[in-house]
Amino acid sequence: MKKLYVGGVSYSTTEQALSDAFSKAGEVASVAIIMDKMTGRSKGFGFVEMTTDEGAKAAIEMWNGKELDGRKLTVNEARPREERPARY
């Protein structure tokens, strides 16, 4: 499994549309578009998990710098989530 960061996602892009786009490069395990808790709107980025390293590489080559729904995507390997201090 290889997790990819996808930035520049159009607010109108659905998780299904993102999954369909990335499945052209390889098998997609999961897709998550990050939503703003307050507004319920997309934050304009998300994560796509590819089942293989080859699929992940192909997806980066296929989609990084390319347009989807009128927005240019930034696609790269996701960095591990950093521990953030709890907010009270």
Answer yes or no: is pLDDT of 33 > 70: yes
Locus of tokens 């659905």: 14
Give the number of other Cβ atoms within 10 Å of residue 71's Cβ.
15
Average pLDDT over residues 55-84: 93
pTM: 0.89
Confidence tier at 82 by pLDDT (50, 70, 90): confident
Cβ-proximal residues to 23 (8 Å cutoff; 6+ apart), any chain: none
Answer yes or no: is pLDDT of 87 > 70: no
**All domains in the chain, ordered by first residue:** 2-77 (3.30.70.330)
1, 51 in Cβ contact below 8 A? yes
The 3-state DSSP composition of the chain as helix, strand, coil percent (nearest 5) reads 20, 35, 45
What mean pLDDT is reported for the chain? 94
